[in-house]
Chain A
Amino acid sequence: MGRYVARRLLQMIPVIIGTTLIIYTLVWFLPGDPFAGRCGARPCPPAYVAEMTDKYNLDDFWLIAYAKYLWSLLHGDFGETFQGLSVGEELLRAYPTTVKLALVAIAFEILIGIGAGILAGLRRGSFIDNLVLVSTLVVVSIPVFVIGSVLQLFLGMRWGIFPATVGGDASLYNLILPGFVLASLSLAYVARLTRTSLAENRRADYVRTAVAKGLPQRRVIGIHTMRNSLIPVITFIGADFGALLGGAIVTEGIFNVPGVGNLIFRSITTRDGVMVTGAVTVLVLVFLLVNLLVDLIYGWLDPRISHG
């Protein structure tokens, strides 16, 4: 197990180098003058251009510049934006909000997604089952920005049940609506996955054995069937959590959530290359770590999977 984790952590090194290289290269070769529009309506003063060119190694060959960037990254220095803001500090400010939003979304996926999936899976062909199938199909078919905007309009603005935007105050209550919107797509998948997995496992031989052992119905379903059925579901939710931690550009945009997604979106529109590269590096790292965690949980849930 320890060796498995060590191997996986070592595997992250080339992935991190690869992704940072790609992002850095893409930003580096973006067409246009990096100083365009930086100094208001006038061109930037030569002293400023010289200072910035030196600071960001703009005169170097791009691979050398990348190596210098990577070197400071290894020392924990994410660099500064053109405005002189520390990228590390900006990320640290935005990240807790994204984590909170992701947790709210995951909570919805677990409560509603698994709940609906269990109800549907236990009574296939029933009214509930059909309701779940149809409603999840509807949710899957509608783009997130439509769901987000519609819910914001009705629940947030017309009826005033939830705050329409989050703004500076990212409290859990404020994040309920964006969290639900963010969860909606995965929630539908979770419900369907749970339903299918449960229905499949109910026919399994070991469930028949559990019945033949004379176990009460709730033990047969609650312990023997459920434990196996939820393995793929938990794996899915775990992987989704990793993706959600990458920030949600659309949802954060609609509800003005000051998270990582918003930060990246703003940085891209303002051509803030340092910020984009730094943020994406962190996201990749978080995604890889969460995936490692999911794989470990998977091995613990299903003893047949061995991390030898």
Chain B
Amino acid sequence: MATTQAGIAPRADQAGTTPLLEVEDLRVEFRTRDGVAKAVNGVSYTLHEGETLAVLGESGSGKSVTAQAIMGILDSPPGFVTGGKVRFRGQDLLTLPDDERRAYRGRSISMIFQDALSALNPVFPVGWQIAEMFRVHEGLSKKDARARAVELMERVQIPAARERAGDYPHQFSGGMRQRIMIAMAIALDPDVLIADEPTTALDVTVQAQIMQLLADLQRERNMGLILITHDLGVVADVADKIEVMYSGRIMEQAPVHDIYATPAHPYTKGLLESIPRVDLKGQELSAIKGLPPNLTNIPAGCEFRPRCPYARDICKEQRPALQEVVPGRFSACHFAQEVLEGDIEPAQQ
């Protein structure tokens, strides 16, 4: 079974410049009592300054684990990076000693998490938690760090920031907490911001505000933004390109508008068809049948085959590599061309 992974060429307009972040053939596994779960199996992507990359996938597709490996915050044990490279401006982070690696965290690459209530420390005031970035990384005095923290809280539009800096996380609403999380993540003006499902725990109206804030901050600071989500609706407006992950591998990679119009992988197609649409009100919602494979025992051949309506015999034997279908678009499907052109019939089974 071939598990080769095509390298992804930089986009034509940015060829020649060093990307901000390059992930190359990253592999992560979790060694548990029940066996070895291969959570990430050769993921590669690049991120440039000012670019927004959306990583899409169901729970357990490896999208968050990839991000944690990039940040160097995998729970280890049981999580181990078993291969690949993570280059930040050309420097491989995975080979750095711990204390040098630490210098990149928060300063060059920072991350915000899904549930800000549990991600913020419950027993310290929010202002203190933001100020800690300046105190530890830049050695600012308590007073100066606090002033900077209040400025950041104002930047992320927290009302009465000065008065509220002394409040604790549980005293804020969900949206406000996520803003505090964002303020903390952008404190040191990082080059890359990873947002791991930043709006999943929020109300729909608040979701839009948070996404807007992230988009504004990204433009203002020219950050590279990695947006991890399982919500196709969230990414449509903000992302430049999309990586669709499944079973620890990238299934499809494409500019955001292309992927919505013409998916080149049956999995992406299935995801798009499972979004509720106003114009199809009253009709039955289609869902992808079945469950993602057990990561401790990924079947041979194509990982998506058991759930794929188009599966043929070759899919049982050969794992399709991620290959360029048309310029700028990649898909890991034996029938990518046909899916892209809508020129394939479901298999009779």
Q: Is B71 an interface residue (CB 8 A)?
A: yes
Is A227 touching B123 in the complex (CB atoms < 8 A)? yes
7 A-B pairs with least C-beta separation: A214-B106, A214-B105, A205-B118, A206-B121, A303-B168, A213-B106, A205-B119
- The reply to whether B132 and A209 form a contact with Cβ atoms under 8 Å apart is no
Q: In chain B, residues 154-188, which have Cβ atoms closer than 8 Å to a Cβ of chain A?
A: 168, 170, 184
Chain A interface category by residue count: 20 to 34
A202 CB → nearest B CB, Å? 9
> Do A214 and B136 touch (CB < 8 A)?
yes
**Which one, A205, A213, A304, contacts B168 given CB within 8 A?**
A304
CB contacts (< 8 Å) of B110 on chain A: these are: 212-213
* Interchain CA distance A205-B72 in the complex, whole Å: 15
The interface residues of chain A, by DSSP majority, are classed as: helix
| Chain A residues near B98 (CB-CB < 8 A) | 217
| Residues on A facing B (Cβ under 8 Å) | 203-206, 208-217, 219, 224, 227-228, 231, 301-304
Assuming the contacts A303-B168, A304-B168, asked whether A213 and B120 have C-beta atoms less than 8 A apart, the reply is no
Separation in Å of the B129 CB from the closest CB of chain A? 8
> 0/1 per residue, B56-95, Cβ < 8 Å to A?
0000000000000001110100000000000000000000
Q: How far apart sit A301 and B137, CA to CA, in the bound complex (Å)?
A: 26
Which of B103, B111, B121, B122 is close to A212, meaning CB atoms less than 8 Å apart? B111
* Assembly CA distance A215 to B102 (angstroms): 7
Residues of B within 8 A of A231 (CB): 123
Which residues in B have their C-beta under 8 angstroms from that of A217?
98
For A204, A205, A217, which residue has the most chain B Cβ atoms within 10 angstroms? A205
- Tell me whether A214 and B122 are in contact (CB under 8 A): no
- Give every chain A residue within 8 A of B71 (Cβ-Cβ): 212
Interface flag for B115 (CB, 8 Å): yes
The chain A residue with its CB closest to the CB of B120 is A206
Distance (whole angstroms) from the CB of B118 to the closest CB of chain A: 4
B329 sits at the interface (CB 8 A): no
Q: Is the CB of A303 within 8 A of B123?
A: yes
Known: A209-B113, A304-B168. A214 touches B118 (CB 8 A): no
A209 nearest CB neighbor, chain B only: B119
Instruction: Using known A-B contacts A203-B75, A209-B113, A219-B136, determine if residue A214 contacts B121 with beta carbons closer than 8 Å.
Output: no
- Cα distance A138–B262 when bound, in Å? 68
The 20 sampled A-B contact pairs (Cβ below 8 Å) are A206-B122, A208-B73, A208-B113, A209-B119, A210-B121, A211-B72, A211-B73, A211-B105, A212-B106, A212-B110, A213-B106, A213-B132, A214-B104, A214-B137, A216-B136, A219-B136, A228-B122, A228-B123, A302-B122, A304-B170
Report chain A residues within 8 Å CB of B121.
206, 209-210, 224, 227-228
Nearest CB to that of B167 among chain A residues?
A: A303
Query: Please, how many angstroms separate the alpha-carbon atoms of A203 and B74 in the complex?
Result: 11
Which of the residues A204, A213, A227 comes within 8 Å of B133, measured between beta carbons? A213
Instruction: For B110, give the chain A residue with the smallest CB separation.
Output: A212
Bound-state Cα–Cα, A205 to B115, Å? 9
B73 surroundings in chain A (CB, below 8 A): 208, 211-212
A303 touches B106 (CB 8 A): no
Quick check: A214 and B75 within 8 Å, CB to CB?
A: no
Residue B148, interface by CB 8 Å: no
* Chain A residues whose C-beta falls within 8 Å of the C-beta of B106 in the assembled complex: 212-215
Known: A213-B136, A301-B123. 10 other contacts (CB 8 A): A205-B118, A206-B121, A208-B75, A212-B110, A212-B111, A213-B106, A214-B103, A214-B105, A215-B102, A304-B168
Chain A contacts for B103, CB-based, 8 A = 214
**CB-CB nearest in chain B for A208:** B73
Residue B307 at the chain A interface, CB threshold 8 Å: no
A212 touches B123 (CB 8 A): no
Roughly how many angstroms separate A30 CA and B124 CA in the complex, as a whole number? 55
Chain B neighbourhood of A216, CB < 8 A: 99, 102, 136
Q: How far does the Cβ of A36 sit from chain B's closest Cβ, in whole Å?
A: 60
Residues of A within 8 A of B102 (CB): 214-216
Residue B31 at the A interface, CB < 8 A? no
User: A304–B122 contact, CB under 8 A?
Assistant: yes
- Note all chain B residues with C-beta closer than 8 A to A227: 121, 123-124
In the complex the two chains form, what is the Cα distance from A196 to B178 in whole Å?
30
What residues on B are CB-neighbors of A303 within 8 Å?
A: 122-123, 168, 170
